[in-house]
Structure 1
Amino acid sequence: MTLPLSRRALAMGAVAAAAPAAAQQPTALTIATGGSVTSLDPHYFNAAPNSALATHFFDTFTRRDATAQIVPNLAESWRVVEPTIWEFKLRAGVKWHDGRPFTADDVVATVERVPNVPNTPSSFAGFLRSIARVEVVDPLTIRFHTRYPNPILSNDLASVFIISRHAGMTTTEEYNSGRAVIGTGPYKFVSHSMGDRTVMERNPEYWAGPQPWERVTYRFIANDAARTAALIAGDIDVIDQVASSDLERLKRDNRVRVAETEGLRVVYLMPDYSRTGPVPGVTDNAGTPLPRNPFHDVRVRQALNIAIARDAIASRIMEGQATATRQWLPPGTFGYVNDLRPAAADVDGAKRLLAAAGFPQGFKLVLTTPNDRFPNDSRIAQAVAQAWTRIGVQTTVEALPWSSFSTRGSRQEFGMRLTSWGSSPGEASYTLANILHTYDRERRTGASNAGRFSSPELDAMTQRAQATMDDDDRRRQLEAAVRWVAENAPIMPVVQLMHSWASKRNLVVTPRMDERTTALEVKPA
């Protein structure tokens, strides 16, 4: 067998000095992420930074690999018994961090806890909405009885972290203190300082085998330049969300290795639909609150949507690290519409739509954005504000830390927000069900619909697609729903992000389409 060049060079070095090379192998890893973690409770907030950290301590039922394909995890095999019955075989010999065995009852406990976590800004309950009943066949066999045929149940379950019956059925505060962070994952909890860092140690009994790192420090550094500087100085081993302005320089630095991939995260705009009357931050040109919510008028939404110069944002602000888009998934994913491409900004058309909607002189609004959640978030918001101001909608930007933005946003405090969403399952139904479906806590729909958009027509389209087992038929239905959203603009996708990581040269990072930054994806070169 002929080895690749990099492996041949490594092998030659090993022959020359096998013992010294082994002695120099690093055993500790420090990661700096730009995504703010808001809780250690794996069920509290369906947000990528939280889930990335939780992956170190907890396992999911099934798992998505780096290319978003479903692979076994705590469930090692599964089959569809009937259209509304799925059977899963659980992995034998798995233990919790405290030594107790993992069983089917822990899965039941997880299904019980997820929809009942209080005050969640974005619940995981939507992933379990189709489950009507859980049947424990034996300690390592479980059946899910669903309310309707769910063709992607195995994909849904890849988003839900499994907690134990004996230690995990507790409060979010107990998780944040570390006392309840007892999982089956590759690392054990050591310490956590909110907004700063989490420290963990290797789980030597991990069912998939021990990880290469004895100790991992997972730090939060919001500022892009500070993360890059810490990497160059040698204080950090791996960084994520590499600033587009730093990327080319890092690629030329022989001390650094860069990894990139096309991502599943879209940056989008969403108005407030929770009110029929005055909306926070929305006034006439004299500063008086508008008597009615303008965003319920599709013409206003369409005007704002077609005014945005998406290509300019992708090329100038993102410097090629994003793609202009009118939908929420990249090409090749399930439900992507090939002929639905972004058009050039239409200022005159936008003004005509505003006039037809009763706003010939426009109005004023505040656009709220995070300033530390994804690359160039507040800069993208400024570009959108300039585009809207050109059509007569005088827009100012309010930029907030992600921790504040997510909490306030879940309380419908923003008239217009710029945010992002990662469709980790790689299927259009994920966004339709969680962002655009009518919010209903009891039915577990619209779990992340912070703007509270509601359309019975779109709800019906989504529900039909979700219950369609035939892939070709489901794809056609999802594409029709994507077209509906593009035409009616309840959300306004702007750009699809690329994801990038930089590491010391002696490390290799496997880039993930779902953008999770974990120690599991970092190996010695």
Structure 2
Amino acid sequence: MPNFPAGKGNPYSGYATPSITFFSAIFDGFTNLQSDGSFKPALAISWEQLDELTWVFDLREGVEFSNGEPFNAHAVVRAAEYLQSEAAQLFAIQRELAVLEHVIALDTHRVQITTRRPVPLLPRVLSAFRIVAPDYWDEAGPEKFATAPVGTGPFAVESWNEASIRLVRNNASWRPAKLEQLDILQVSDSSVRLQTLTSGDVDIAMALSPEDRDLLESSGYVFKANRAPNILVLTFVTVEEGPLQDPRVRQALNIAINRTPIIDVFLDGAVPVPSQPAIRSAFGYNPELVPLDYDPDRAKKLLAEAGYPDGFEIVAEVITGVTTNDAAVFQQVFADLKRVGVTVNPQIISSAQLVSGIGSGHWRGRMFMLDYNLLPALDALSVMTIHSCLRRIPWHCDEDVMPLAERAYAEPDLAKREQLTQTMMAELVASPPALILYEAARFDAHASEITEYRAGFGIIEYEGIERAHRE
């Protein structure tokens, strides 16, 4: 894989890739996200919503952690207590699980959860509530636990160093692995990942280039385009005065981009032209919206109506080498914008600079590369938690759409919540918060002897992987 999780094996340190790609081998949540975008019961086998804020979950019986500790309601309560403690406030998962107000054990395998506000998608959200062996967590502490994690998943960690992780089958798991052992290597360069696969040093290579398809398939390898949980965007900074404060300008930029050749050339045609700032599998995705148009003449007209008949110049902060062919994609996007009179001056920044800008609100440009990541619940409305006035220091704040967003967040009825979110998607197309590019995709390949390799939305279904013996 390209990189290991920054928080290593601490399941509370992240809920996006690459964290969840690794976590799905070691841990389970109440539900588990599947490679097809569905959610299935995991440590919780059933649930009932008693009122707008109260849920009861029945837990899976007969489950043990890989160190022999029993999984039960006591383990769930202790995990919840830790996540509500001051020590856990810096962990990324806090933003999603802060909605939990009380978690109490009703008996050994039943818990009651009370939320701070209505969360009709709570079973999906709790896919991020990965339960750790409570006694070992207390004994080891987060730092030691991170390099020797203990969960209920199909594998356990035997060793962990900077370059490799060795996993061995967790025979106590309720979803046991078919492989006895799995070695995961960290290889940051995609060309080196390709070489290690074709040389036979590894059986599976992740995050390859779509240009590798012909070579690999002609050599007998299986090449797969896997769907991702995010949509790539160049988000607009509209809290400071400038052209992007006008929704007509933001619309113009979105219809000035010819996405079809970009997707066909740089992503092997693996994803469709998007219709909204959400992936197709998201809850609240609006199926009535049509793919974003390519209409440079109308884009010029909108720019003129907004007072920019000759276009304007803008700085965009981008990171390259993060997603498939991103440098080439940005070059083509900026060329399309140039054709309608908008000159983009790209500034390459590091991930650290991006994080700093998000935290401080200080930007050199008026667009910056980000994505709309819909994990953990694949909820289209989650876009609003980051890319709106709801942020402590927002970069885009459209007061006109906030009443609808607030209604959707407060709606306890699942069907009504879905309708409100679909309406929200239409509003975000009419007044876009970002230059919407395309759904992300990840290209993996494996040897023909590997069967049942299923990956998607950032996770791998490790328990199904098999390796046939060569004759």
Aligned partners of 1:58, 1:201: CA distance in 2, in Å?
Answer: 14
- The one of 72, 80, 93 equivalent to 1:111 is 80
Normalised TM-score (structure 2): 0.86
* Residue in 2 that maps onto 1:502: 445
Normalised TM-score (structure 1): 0.78
* Residue in 2 that maps onto 1:146: 115
Kept after mapping to 2: 8 A contact 1:65/1:71: yes
User: Structure 1 vs Structure 2: percent identity of aligned residues?
Assistant: 23
Aligned partners of 2:465, 2:352: CA distance in 1, in Å?
Answer: 27
Deviates more, 1:406-415 or 1:363-372: 406-415
The answer to whether residue 434 in structure 2 is matched with residue 491 in structure 1 is: yes
The answer to whether residue 235 in structure 2 is matched with residue 316 in structure 1 is: no
Change in CA separation of 1:497 and 1:184 when aligned onto 2, cut-off 3 Å: same
* Residue in 2 that maps onto 1:25: none
Kept after mapping to 2: 8 A contact 1:79/1:87: yes
Alpha-carbon shift at residue 257 of structure 1 (Å):
2.0
Aligned partners of 1:437, 1:510: CA distance in 2, in Å?
Answer: 41
Q: Deviations over 1:201-229 (max 9, x none)?
A: 322322333x2333322223233332222
The answer to whether residue 160 in structure 2 is matched with residue 219 in structure 1 is: no
The answer to whether residue 165 in structure 2 is matched with residue 198 in structure 1 is: yes
Aligned partners of 2:212, 2:134: CA distance in 1, in Å?
Answer: 46
Change in CA separation of 1:489 and 1:401 when aligned onto 2, cut-off 3 Å: same
Aligned partners of 1:125, 1:168: CA distance in 2, in Å?
Answer: 18
Q: Deviations over 1:171-212 (max 9, x none)?
A: 764454x15x23233322233344x43333322322333x23
Kept after mapping to 1: 8 A contact 2:314/2:344: yes
Change in CA separation of 1:496 and 1:304 when aligned onto 2, cut-off 3 Å: same
Aligned partners of 2:445, 2:52: CA distance in 1, in Å?
Answer: 44
* Residue in 2 that maps onto 1:265: 230
Kept after mapping to 2: 8 A contact 1:188/1:203: yes
Letter in 2 for 1:417: F
Kept after mapping to 2: 8 A contact 1:269/1:418: yes
Letter in 1 for 2:7: S
Letter in 1 for 2:60: R
* Residue in 2 that maps onto 1:27: none
Consecutive unaligned residues of structure 2, counting only runs of 5 or more, are none
Aligned partners of 1:171, 1:302: CA distance in 2, in Å?
Answer: 50
* Residue in 1 that maps onto 2:391: 439
- The one of 379, 393, 397 equivalent to 2:342 is 393
Alpha-carbon shift at residue 81 of structure 1 (Å):
2.5
SS at match of 1:52: helix
Aligned partners of 2:347, 2:90: CA distance in 1, in Å?
Answer: 24
The answer to whether residue 366 in structure 2 is matched with residue 423 in structure 1 is: no
Q: Aligned Cα RMSD in Å? A: 3.1
The answer to whether residue 276 in structure 2 is matched with residue 303 in structure 1 is: no
- Alignment length (residue pairs): 461
Change in CA separation of 1:455 and 1:126 when aligned onto 2, cut-off 3 Å: farther
- The one of 393, 398, 403 equivalent to 1:460 is 403
SS at match of 2:230: strand
Change in CA separation of 1:38 and 1:371 when aligned onto 2, cut-off 3 Å: farther
Aligned partners of 2:187, 2:242: CA distance in 1, in Å?
Answer: 38
Alpha-carbon shift at residue 486 of structure 1 (Å):
0.7
1:43-442 map, 5 Å = 43-114=12-83, 117=88, 119=90, 123-168=92-137, 173-176=143-146, 178=147, 181-194=149-162, 196-209=163-176, 211-254=177-220, 256-273=221-238, 276=240, 292-331=241-280, 333-357=282-306, 359=308, 361-399=310-348, 405=354, 409-412=358-361, 414=363, 415=365, 416-424=367-375, 425-436=377-388, 438-439=390-391
Letter in 1 for 2:16: A
Change in CA separation of 1:168 and 1:298 when aligned onto 2, cut-off 3 Å: farther
Change in CA separation of 1:75 and 1:147 when aligned onto 2, cut-off 3 Å: same
Aligned partners of 1:390, 1:485: CA distance in 2, in Å?
Answer: 25
